[in-house]
C-alpha cells in the first residue's frame, strides 16, 4: 500500500484529532433535562432547587406551624443563610419534589425571600411508614408537635405496621409512657380533643380525664375543673377516687348465701376472684367464729 493511499485512508481521523471537523458536521444538542434532574449537582445527593419546584407533603403529620417561630427562623436565614438542607423525595404523581423533613425551613426560606433552597435528595422508594417515621422524628426533634398531631401520627404508625405502643416506642426511640399518654388523648370525645388542640386544656389534665370510664364522667370532671381549676396532680387524685368507686362495682365480687333459718351470709371482694378463694375465705371466717365461741364472745 502506498503512502498516499494510507494518508487518504486516515485523513478524516487526523483532521478530527487536530480539532478540524467536516463542514456538514453539526453539534449535537443536549436532551431536554428530566424535571427531577434540574438543580442537581455532580454529587447528585445534594443540590439547589427553586422554591416553586418544592412542595410540602400532603401527608405530613404537622398541620399547623407557629407563625412567630417561622418569622424568627426566616430572620436567621436572612442573616446567616440556610445552614442545613431540607430532605426531599421525587413524586411522579405531583411532578415535584415533596418535603420529607424541613418544612419549617422551607416556609422560612419563602418568607425570607430566597429564590432557591438547598436540598438533600432521597433516591429510591420510601414506604409510607418510612416517610412518616422520618417526618415524625424530624418534628419531635426540631420543634414539638401539637399534642393531638403527635397522637394521630403515633396512631398512623401503629396502624401501618400493626405495632403495639411499646413496639412503636422502641422503633422511634422514645419512652413507652410518652406513646401511652399521647394515644390516650384519642379516646377522649371530640369536644374535649378540640380544647386540647386549641390549647384551652392542658394535655396533662386531658390525659387524666381519659382515665375515666365514659365521656359523661369525663365531661363532668372537666366542668368541675373549669369552675375550680386544679393541677394535674390534684386531677389525678380525683380521677383515682372516681375510678375506685366505679371499679369496685364493676370488677369486684359479691356473693350472698341464704340458709333455711334465715341467715344471710354475704362475701365481698374488691377485685376479681374464683370459688376456690371464696371457699378459703369462708373457711377462715368459720375458724374465726369457732374462736369466738371458744372464748365465750357474746354475739351482738
Angle at 89 between CA 161 and CA 178, to 5 degrees: 40
Asked if 121 and 88 count as a contact pair (C-beta separation under 8 A), the reply is yes
The pLDDT of residue 280: 86
- Residues of the chain short of pLDDT 70, as ranges, are 1-33, 36-37, 39-44, 61-63, 137-145, 243-251, 300
CATH of domain 36-145: 3.90.1530.10
Q: How far apart are CA 284 and CA 261, in angstroms?
A: 22
The pLDDT of residue 209: 92
Asked if 205 and 232 count as a contact pair (C-beta separation under 8 A), the reply is yes
The pLDDT of residue 138: 65
Q: Which residue, among 118, 50, 56, 115, has the nearest Cα to 83 in the 3D structure?
A: 118
Q: Which residue, among 90, 172, 98, 111, has the nearest Cα to 138 in the 3D structure?
A: 172
List phi, psi (to 5°) of 155.
-65, -40
Mean pLDDT of the chain: 80
Per-domain residue ranges of the chain: 36-145, 188-251, 253-294
User: In this structure, what C-alpha cell is assigned to residue 232?
Assistant: 394535674
Q: How far apart are CA 47 and CA 64, in angstroms?
A: 28
Q: How far apart are CA 148 and CA 197, in angstroms?
A: 6
Asked if 200 and 174 count as a contact pair (C-beta separation under 8 A), the reply is no
Amino acid at each position: 500500500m502506498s503512502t498516499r493511499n494510507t494518508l487518504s485512508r486516515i485523513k478524516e481521523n487526523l483532521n478530527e484529532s487536530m480539532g478540524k471537523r467536516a463542514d456538514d458536521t453539526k453539534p449535537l444538542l443536549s436532551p431536554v433535562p428530566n424535571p427531577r434532574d434540574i438543580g442537581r449537582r455532580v454529587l447528585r445527593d445534594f443540590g439547589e432547587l427553586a422554591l416553586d419546584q418544592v412542595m410540602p407533603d400532603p401527608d405530613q403529620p404537622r398541620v399547623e406551624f407557629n407563625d412567630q417561630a417561622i418569622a424568627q427562623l426566616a430572620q436567621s436565614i436572612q442573616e446567616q443563610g440556610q445552614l442545613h438542607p431540607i430532605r426531599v423525595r421525587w413524586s411522579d404523581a405531583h411532578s415535584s419534589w415533596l418535603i420529607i423533613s424541613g418544612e419549617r425551613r422551607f416556609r422560612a426560606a419563602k418568607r425570607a425571600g430566597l429564590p432557591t433552597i438547598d436540598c438533600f435528595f432521597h433516591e429510591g422508594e420510601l414506604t409510607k411508614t418510612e416517610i412518616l417515621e422520618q417526618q415524625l422524628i424530624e418534628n419531635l426533634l426540631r420543634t414539638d408537635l401539637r399534642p393531638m398531631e403527635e397522637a394521630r401520627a403515633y396512631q398512623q404508625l401503629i396502624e401501618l405496621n400493626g405495632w403495639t405502643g411499646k413496639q412503636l416506642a422502641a422503633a422511634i426511640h422514645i419512652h413507652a409512657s410518652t406513646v401511652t399518654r399521647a394515644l390516650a388523648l384519642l379516646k377522649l370525645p371530640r369536644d374535649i380533643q378540640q380544647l386540647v388542640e386549641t390549647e384551652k386544656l392542658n394535655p396533662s389534665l386531658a390525659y387524666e380525664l381519659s382515665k375515666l370510664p365514659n365521656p359523661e364522667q369525663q365531661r363532668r370532671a372537666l366542668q368541675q375543673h373549669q369552675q375550680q381549676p386544679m393541677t394535674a396532680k390534684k386531677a389525678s387524685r380525683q380521677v383515682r377516687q372516681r375510678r375506685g368507686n366505679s371499679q369496685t362495682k364493676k370488677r369486684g365480687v359479691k356473693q350472698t348465701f341464704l340458709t333455711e333459718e334465715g341467715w344471710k351470709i354475704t362475701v365481698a371482694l374488691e377485685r376479681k376472684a374464683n370459688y376456690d378463694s371464696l371457699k378459703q375465705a369462708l373457711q377462715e371466717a368459720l375458724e374465726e367464729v369457732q374462736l369466738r365461741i371458744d372464748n365465750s364472745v357474746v354475739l351482738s
